[in-house]
Structure 1
Amino acid sequence: MTENDRLELATFAGGCFWCMVKPFHEMPGIKKVISGYTGGTLANPTYEQVCSGLTGHTEAVQITYDPEVISYNQLLDMYWMQIDPTDAGGQFYDRGGSYRPAIFYHNEEQRLLAEESKKQLDRSGRFSKPITVPVEPAKPFYEAEDYHQDFYRKNPVRYQAYQHGSGRAQFIERHWGDQVGKK
């Protein structure tokens, strides 16, 4: 069995995909993180089409990972720390269906782990409102335009400004503190 034979996919939506790439890229066992669109009906949508709200797609990241190095549960833990799991209408100042949070599972094991992780977070009392993130079957994933890929590396100043300007960085700090770097 080669390394490629054992690699698995995880797909998460959490608002603007620019902010969802870096935290996963920094984890051991991650081979690739792609920004793209999923959950909708139009094949090969463009950014403009997705933003129109007419395609049903949401911005998401698709992660290729080695389950012998990092578990799906570890990916779920990092995912929860990147979003406001109580806001189904978008994330931070990005509003609408194309920015909704969601976990897209690729097999039954992922579905069960995601549902259990969601229940645990809800029961933890960390948030005063219920966890509203849906767990849905993965649909075709369409890679976003090249200028969206690895945005935090290509445009570090703009990325930092967006991360802070949207309120995401402050939300993460307020709810998770220094735990984010320990996962």
Structure 2
Amino acid sequence: MKDTAIFAGGCFWCMVKPFDEVPGIEKVISGYTGGHVKNPTYEQVCSGTTGHTEAVKIVFDSDKMSYKHLVDIYWRQTDPTDAMGQFQDRGDSYRPVIYVKNDEQRKIAEASKKKLQNSGMFDEPIVTKIEDAKPFYPAEDYHQGFYKKNPLRFQMEEMGGRSNFIKNKWQTHSNNK
């Protein structure tokens, strides 16, 4: 059965690839959500005046992929202790948020956040917000599948701290379990 999930974790270019080729995920769309402007442009969102965050909307087959597993993938792409951006991307439009569309998603996201906080993996509090989903507006075409269209620029964006953090924090922790 088709379902959707929406996650914000900094630059949406970097949030697509980790989900894009996972079995059960049908589509990953870069876009904007959480703000007060209808159909915002990239320039408007970057101006900081729309209230939107860069996010990804994931269309998945819930018979093949659970929402819980998507949340687990999400955590491993972010620094959940940084409320005002992710890595080199700073400001409200890059803040980490799990947007939930119903009580079941909220329950799963909150339980996962609590488990992460209690894991002892981070010294600082887990500050990623869990908020009700708002309208999602797909980003301009040139943002879709950016990592495939612009591999060198994508690699430079990823090297802005995200890849090292993931390697040092998430992969090291996973290997020590």
TM-score by length of 2: 0.96
Residue equivalent to 1:112: 107
Residue equivalent to 1:65: 60
Q: For residue 79 of structure 2, give the secondary structure of its aligned residue in structure 1.
A: coil
Residue equivalent to 1:92: 87
8 Å CA contact retained: 2:121, 2:173: no
8 Å CA contact retained: 2:10, 2:94: yes
Residue equivalent to 2:5: 10
Q: For residue 97 of structure 2, give the secondary structure of its aligned residue in structure 1.
A: strand
Residue equivalent to 2:168: 174
Q: For residue 61 of structure 1, give the secondary structure of its aligned residue in structure 2.
A: strand
Matched pairs, number = 174
Q: Distance in 2 between matches of 1:93 and 1:21?
A: 17
In structure 2, which of residues 59, 72, 89 is the aligned counterpart of residue 77 of structure 1? 72
TM-score by length of 1: 0.93
8 Å CA contact retained: 2:32, 2:139: yes
In structure 2, which of residues 120, 137, 155 is the aligned counterpart of residue 160 of structure 1? 155
Matched, 1:103 2:90: no
- Greater shift in the superposed pair: 56-65 or 155-164: 155-164
Task: Show CA shifts across 1:118-155 (max 9, x none).
Answer: 00000001111010011000000000000100000001
Q: Distance in 1 between matches of 2:4 and 2:102?
A: 10
Q: Which amino acid aligns with 2:113?
A: K
Task: Show CA shifts across 1:13-34 (max 9, x none).
Answer: 0000000000001211000000
Q: Distance in 2 between matches of 1:179 and 1:60?
A: 26
Matched, 1:140 2:135: yes
Structure 1 segments, 4+ long, off by >2 Å, are none
Of all paired residues, the percent bearing the same amino acid is 62
- Per the TM alignment, residue 86 of structure 1 is displaced from its structure 2 partner at its CA by 0.2
Task: Report matched runs for 1:31-42 at 5 Å.
Answer: 31-42=26-37
- Per the TM alignment, residue 161 of structure 1 is displaced from its structure 2 partner at its CA by 1.4
Q: Which amino acid aligns with 1:161?
A: M
8 Å CA contact retained: 2:24, 2:61: yes
Point out where structure 1 has 5 or more consecutive residues left out of the alignment. Answer: 1-5
Q: Which amino acid aligns with 1:172?
A: I
- Per the TM alignment, residue 177 of structure 1 is displaced from its structure 2 partner at its CA by 1.5
In structure 2, which of residues 124, 131, 147 is the aligned counterpart of residue 129 of structure 1? 124
Point out where structure 2 has 5 or more consecutive residues left out of the alignment. Answer: none
Q: For residue 121 of structure 2, give the secondary structure of its aligned residue in structure 1.
A: coil
Residue equivalent to 2:43: 48
CA RMSD of aligned residues (A): 1.1
Q: Which amino acid aligns with 2:171?
A: G
